[in-house]
Amino acid sequence: MNRPTLRGLFLDALYQVLDNLGFRILFCLFLVPVLLSFVVSFRETSIAFFWCWEWDYAEFLRSATASSGLDAAARAEMLANVRESLLQGLVDVVIEWGADRFGLVFGIAAISFFVPQMLEKGAADVIFSKPVSRSSLFLSRYIGGLLFVGILSAFLVGGITLGLVTSSGWFDSGLLWSVLALMYGFAIFHAISCTIGVFTRNTIGAILLTLVFMPINCGLHLGWENLVTLEQAVAGREASAEEPQSGAFEFLKTGLTAYHVVAPKTGDAMRMARTWRRSLETQPEFQDSELGLVVAQAPREFRREPRSSFAREGLAWLAAHPDGAGEASWTLRSQALQDTGPRSALVKKQRKELGTDPVRSDISGRYADRFEWVEDRGGEKRLRRRWILQVGDRIVTLDYDAESTWARADERETAATAFLAGISIESEELRHMGAVSYERKFGWGGPWQFNAWFSLGTTLAFVAVVLALGLWKLRRIDF
């Protein structure tokens, strides 16, 4: 096939897309979140609408937590990561729910006529009389569908990314992987729609059968994922190892496994995008898998002491005061409950030593007793803060020690609340579920059940077989 013919087929596919009413409707719908990303600004302390009206994060938190009993310090800790949470949440809603779910279904409905229209009587006579093979025409219609979703995805994701950079100064480089994920998911169902269109030569049939296949396929894969997760969860229990599996269970397991191997794994598209995004994210400052504790970043102006230990004397971050006073420190420590006694006893002892009651605080949604006092040390006023909380059978304490005036400066208080907000502790139930969940295990390495390469390879092989089936049928149609 010569270059002018290829160029003509490409332009024909492009015009099929640009002249499509469904394309124009989706473009207008996607224009709404893109424009909002430019006119809504997520600032450090507030959201600004059209650069004139502001909604304060702190005011919202005061209203939302008015009946929770949280003090001002706890609200300040929650406030530090409100902006990041809102931005991530909004992006996930637009990309994963708006584009991946609604956009995928609408796109399939909008372009399912590409192949059946080509095969209509009269139209087929004209089209197939041209010096172009049926295979080339069929594949050009398939590529036209990929152009359809590729242009819209690039517009939506690229527009939102540019808008958030311009208005909010927020950039997530991993977000751009969503364009490939959206095209990947659409390519699977579009191949099915094209082939059904060849067999039925009917637009309505291509739409309905493809839309029926979508939830059935996703449901069967989800059933297999839940089955594997359940097996992983009970694998270590003696009772489950001794009890034989029923014949019905084994039949179900074999059937779902066979389907999972052969059928396209459309749900893995966004999982791949998330793994790419995670690979580009900054690694946390500290992580303890036993407690599910993560410290997102070091306190501003502080550096971690490399010789310090979380389980012994404590993980320490140090900062030298610019005026020559004693260095400031954050110390995070974990101790076994049998070594320290119950948390209530520690709190009672601290209360007795200081002569003051703790205030209720919050670290990653967990109740913590927070003490604050000022002590004289070598003629220097030192601000001391201590958080005491229990995580499983461990007592976790966090200590802050700094020169009082230096520590109470607004920028230091803001940095302190940001550091606290960056500490997350996963519950024991979530840690157990995460350890065996398909979502957590899925990646580019490991066993085939959770391997992204296996998912990608088998899915692309399925698409190739489906397209080959469509080509086989098209060559045998007598017009």
Lowest mean pLDDT among 28-32, 49-53, 183-187: 49-53
Helix or strand holding residue 390 (H, E) = strand 380-391
**Tell me, what's the pLDDT at 77?**
53
Average confidence score pLDDT of the chain: 82
Helix axes 452-475, 177-200, angle to 10 degrees: 30
Q: How far apart are CA 445 and CA 454, in angstroms?
A: 10
Mean pLDDT of 297-323: 88
For 298, which DSSP code? P
**Tell me, what's the pLDDT at 241?**
46
- Does residue 461 have a pLDDT over 80? yes
pTM equals 0.73
What are 97-143's pLDDT values in tens digits?
766 677 777 778 877 777 877 776 555 544 555 667 888 888 888 99
**Tell me, what's the pLDDT at 388?**
94
Q: How far apart are CA 13 and CA 23, in angstroms?
A: 13
Structure tokens at 188: 């699977």
Asked whether the beta carbons of 391 and 429 are under 8 A apart, the reply is no
- Does residue 378 have a pLDDT over 90? no
What are 265-286's pLDDT values in tens digits?
988 888 887 777 766 666 789 9
C-alpha pair distances (Å), 264 with each of 192, 348, 444: 11, 59, 17
What are 239-254's pLDDT values in tens digits?
444 555 667 878 888 9
Mean pLDDT of 341-353: 91
**Tell me, what's the pLDDT at 126?**
47
**Tell me, what's the pLDDT at 60?**
62
Asked whether the beta carbons of 298 and 316 are under 8 A apart, the reply is no
Q: DSSP letters along 26-81, please?
A: HHHHHHHHHHHHHHEEE-SSEEEETTTEEEEHHHHHHHHTTTTT--HHHHHHHHTT
pLDDT band at 219 (very low <50, low <70, confident <90, very high): very high
Of the candidates 197, 19, 17, 209, the one whose C-alpha atom is nearest the C-alpha of residue 116 is: 197
Within the chain, all domains assigned CATH 3.40.1000.10 are found at 287-428
Lowest mean pLDDT among 5-14, 345-354, 447-456: 5-14
Percentage of the chain exceeding pLDDT 90: 27
Mean pLDDT of 303-313: 88
Asked whether the beta carbons of 287 and 293 are under 8 A apart, the reply is yes
Count of H-run helices and E-run strands, the chain: 21, 13
**Tell me, what's the pLDDT at 422?**
84
Highest mean pLDDT among 119-133, 413-427, 454-468: 454-468
Selected from 3.30.1330.60, 3.40.640.10, 3.40.1000.10, 3.20.10.10, the CATH number assigned to the domain covering 287-428 reads 3.40.1000.10
What are 33-77's pLDDT values in tens digits?
899 989 988 887 778 887 678 777 777 666 655 555 555 555 555
